[in-house]
Chain A
Amino acid sequence: MATSGAARVSRAEIHAWRLALLGAFLLLWETATRRGWVDPFFVSQPTVLAAQIYDWVRSGFIVRHLVVTLQETVLGFLLGTLLGVAVGFAFAQWEKLALVFDPLMVALNAMPRVVLAPLFILWFGLGLVSKVVMVISLVFFVVFFSTYTGIREVDRDLVNNARILGANPRHLIRHVLLPSALTWIFSSLRTSVGFALIGAVVGEYLGSHEGMGYVISYAESMFNATGVLAGLLVLMAAVIAIDVGLRRLDARFSYWKAVPK
């Protein structure tokens, strides 16, 4: 109700604007490279990119590498989330644990994980394990901190009410703490999925023989701008698809929240 009727824009109109802008950008890009204003060697060309992606998909080349990357992402993401929720819960439950390990957590989180990637590769090899560890190291902290806050921020009245209504500690976790923390966990999940993919790709980029990071890194070493950009586009599509899925999941688990109007 805050916005007046005149200021409100219909969904269709927004979509139309977005498409128009995208089209204009692609057209400009294509024209600029065809007319020789910009050298396509450096920035590639939309039509060439489309042909490259089509070729990759048809030959199954990209599917193989995408599957490898997604495997690492999903595996690392699941393990990292599980670990993050578990440790977050433990820290919220036992204050002493939180107090003792707080500096360690902050220090570990402050470490740039990307720089650690070569070490992970050294320790765990060129294959799947080093990438999964890399993903875990990124996802864990995001999920851990939001779970920890989520449980700490639980409404005290709700906890007291549950206690008076006869809840035992197990009930409290199942019916109060977990549902209340779920919102926080879910809002962090979307961030951590992005991190997970970044972790996997960076890991591959720095040392592997398959996966999207490898594809991009290989194209780069050949000075193949089309290969790099096409790889990035495929990754982008994957992230968007996952994000849409997670948003739906979030809506399912947060059905009880008021719909903002």
Chain B
Amino acid sequence: MRRSRRVRRHFHPFERGPACCFGGHPPNDVAPGPAWSLARSYNCRAASHTVARNAVLNASGRLVTRDDRTGRIVLEHVTQRFALPREDREFTAVQDVSFDVRGGEFVSIVGPSGCGKSTLLALVAGLAPVTEGRISLDGQPVDGVNPRLGFVFQRDALFPWKTVAQNVGLPLLFRGVAEAAAAPRVAEWIARIGLTGFERYHPHQLSGGMRKRVALAMTMVYEPEIVLMDEPFGALDVQTRNLMENDLLEIWAQLRRTVVFVTHDLEEAIALSDRIVVMTASPGRVKAVYPIGLPRPRSVTEIRFHPDFGRLYETIWKDLKDEVRLGYERSRQGLAG
């Protein structure tokens, strides 16, 4: 990762500024217009650009955080059922789930396996319609796949017939960004994830950690306002995983996008998040929500030694362990689906 940092500095003179990652454009190419005001249009990606860069300009070296209202997710009494045609019954994956995520917040969802964590993410992403209840992004109800949203899958869903550069550039191609405008953004993100020199490799030539980074770059390159991550680092070895978690924290600290992170690893959740939502065993309900007040910026490897870390872990684990046991017993009985 050392290499990526060096390269990024080269791209961004405004180190660690909240908006220093917006495609490497110099901030003074912002056209003045109505979108300048902080009362931003939530639907317009161009506007979001402008505001964020505007924030840097106004800061004149001082850090200015993004408008907290964008990237807000609200779940109200969300229930999801699936028909099990063979058994002629319904399976309730999640039941009456309500919580909200503030704009720019890092929220983790933990719970026993099969508790509907992934289902919840798919619903927020608009991949499937909600059976009951309501999900809204910045006040707009979710109705189909939302282009302001990014999703990092459990298995890295890279396109095996495309190179690293083509994979990272794919969302820009889909969005009709011209080749000339897309190329520097792709190059920048490949540098950020430390894969400069691997542009023409195909996914099968990369290690699991590298593929995960490409998946991350592919999601971040179009600057989604909300990033959903479904156990993204679950398949990685511990060392790679910690590196990736730190990278994620760094990217998040700079971009300040809303992140909803699903994991079954409580330590990972505490190390990364602002808040943790604990889910019950199937059917998934919200059992408790814990704010994580650990100081930032964090390093996932070092934050574990913070005195509050153990205390938080103990408290949340007390809640979680009954659910994990219940989920395990049910799955053994074949009831959890």
- List A residues at the B interface (Cβ < 8 Å): 155, 157-158, 160-168, 171, 175-176, 179-180, 255-258
C-beta contact mask, B149-170 vs A, less than 8 Å → 1, else 0?
1110101010111100000001
Least distance between A225 CB and chain B CB atoms (Å): 50
Q: A155-B157, A179-B161 are in contact. Are A165 and B202 (CB under 8 A)?
A: no
Interface centre among A164, A167, A180, A256 (most CB of B within 10 A): A164
Known: A157-B157, A164-B150, A166-B174. 9 other contacts (CB 8 A): A158-B157, A160-B151, A161-B151, A162-B159, A165-B174, A165-B219, A166-B222, A167-B174, A179-B161
Q: A157-B153, A165-B218 are in contact. Are A257 and B204 (CB under 8 A)?
A: yes
Least distance between A160 CB and chain B CB atoms (Å): 6
Question: Quick check: is B127 within 8 A (CB to CB) of the other chain?
Answer: yes
| In the complex, residue of chain B having the shortest beta-carbon distance to the beta carbon of A159 | B157
Name A164's contact: one of B151, B162, B203 (CB within 8 Å): B151
C-beta contact mask, B130-151 vs A, less than 8 Å → 1, else 0?
0000000000000001010111
Q: A171-B174, A258-B204 are in contact. Are A163 and B145 (CB under 8 A)?
A: yes
Q: A155-B157, A157-B157 are in contact. Are A256 and B162 (CB under 8 A)?
A: yes
15 contacts between A and B (CB under 8 A): A155-B157, A157-B153, A160-B151, A160-B157, A162-B174, A164-B145, A164-B151, A165-B174, A165-B222, A166-B174, A167-B174, A171-B174, A175-B162, A180-B161, A258-B204
Q: A255-B202, A257-B204 are in contact. Are A166 and B157 (CB under 8 A)?
A: no
Q: A164-B145, A171-B174 are in contact. Are A256 and B218 (CB under 8 A)?
A: no
Q: How far is the CA of A160 from the CA of B203 in the complex (A)?
A: 18
The answer to whether A158 touches B159 (Cβ under 8 A) is yes
Question: Quick check: is B175 within 8 A (CB to CB) of the other chain?
Answer: yes
Chain A residues touching B, majority SS: helix
Least distance between A149 CB and chain B CB atoms (Å): 18
Q: Which residues of A contact B161 (CB under 8 A)?
A: 179-180, 256
The answer to whether A166 touches B127 (Cβ under 8 A) is no
Least distance between B79 CB and chain A CB atoms (Å): 22
- List B residues at the A interface (Cβ < 8 Å): 125, 127, 145, 147, 149-151, 153, 155, 157, 159-162, 170-171, 173-175, 202-204, 218-219, 222
Q: Which residues of A contact B125 (CB under 8 A)?
A: 164
The answer to whether A165 touches B170 (Cβ under 8 A) is yes
Q: How far is the CA of A99 from the CA of B14 in the complex (A)?
A: 59
Q: Which residues of B contact A163 (CB under 8 A)?
A: 127, 145
| In the complex, residue of chain B having the shortest beta-carbon distance to the beta carbon of A160 | B127
Q: How far is the CA of A176 from the CA of B162 in the complex (A)?
A: 10
Q: How far is the CA of A142 from the CA of B202 in the complex (A)?
A: 30
3 shortest interchain CB distances as A-B pairs = A161-B157, A166-B174, A165-B171
Interface centre among B150, B170, B204 (most CB of A within 10 A): B170
Q: How far is the CA of A171 from the CA of B157 in the complex (A)?
A: 16
Q: Which residues of B contact A180 (CB under 8 A)?
A: 161
Least distance between A170 CB and chain B CB atoms (Å): 10
Q: How far is the CA of A164 from the CA of B162 in the complex (A)?
A: 17
Interface centre among B151, B174, B203, B222 (most CB of A within 10 A): B174
Q: Which residues of A contact B153 (CB under 8 A)?
A: 157, 160-161
Least distance between A47 CB and chain B CB atoms (Å): 51
The answer to whether B160 touches A257 (Cβ under 8 A) is yes
Q: Which residues of A contact B151 (CB under 8 A)?
A: 160-161, 164
Q: Which residues of B contact A165 (CB under 8 A)?
A: 170-171, 174, 218-219, 222
| In the complex, residue of chain B having the shortest beta-carbon distance to the beta carbon of A172 | B174
Q: Which residues of B contact A164 (CB under 8 A)?
A: 125, 127, 145, 149-151
Name A157's contact: one of B149, B155, B162 (CB within 8 Å): B155
Q: How far is the CA of A255 from the CA of B160 in the complex (A)?
A: 10
Least distance between B257 CB and chain A CB atoms (Å): 14
Least distance between B206 CB and chain A CB atoms (Å): 11
Q: How far is the CA of A255 from the CA of B201 in the complex (A)?
A: 11
Q: Which residues of B contact A167 (CB under 8 A)?
A: 174
Q: Which residues of B contact A257 (CB under 8 A)?
A: 160, 204
Q: A255-B202, A256-B202 are in contact. Are A166 and B159 (CB under 8 A)?
A: no
Least distance between A92 CB and chain B CB atoms (Å): 18
Q: How far is the CA of A165 from the CA of B218 in the complex (A)?
A: 8
The answer to whether B174 touches A168 (Cβ under 8 A) is yes
The answer to whether B160 touches A256 (Cβ under 8 A) is yes
Q: How far is the CA of A175 from the CA of B172 in the complex (A)?
A: 13
Q: Which residues of A contact B203 (CB under 8 A)?
A: 256
| In the complex, residue of chain A having the shortest beta-carbon distance to the beta carbon of B151 | A164
Q: How far is the CA of A164 from the CA of B202 in the complex (A)?
A: 21
Q: A161-B151, A166-B171, A175-B170 are in contact. Are A256 and B157 (CB under 8 A)?
A: no
| In the complex, residue of chain B having the shortest beta-carbon distance to the beta carbon of A258 | B204
Interface centre among B147, B153, B157 (most CB of A within 10 A): B157
Q: How far is the CA of A157 from the CA of B230 in the complex (A)?
A: 12
| In the complex, residue of chain A having the shortest beta-carbon distance to the beta carbon of B147 | A166
Least distance between A174 CB and chain B CB atoms (Å): 10
Least distance between A251 CB and chain B CB atoms (Å): 14
Least distance between A258 CB and chain B CB atoms (Å): 4
| In the complex, residue of chain B having the shortest beta-carbon distance to the beta carbon of A164 | B151
Q: A164-B151, A165-B170, A165-B174 are in contact. Are A175 and B159 (CB under 8 A)?
A: yes
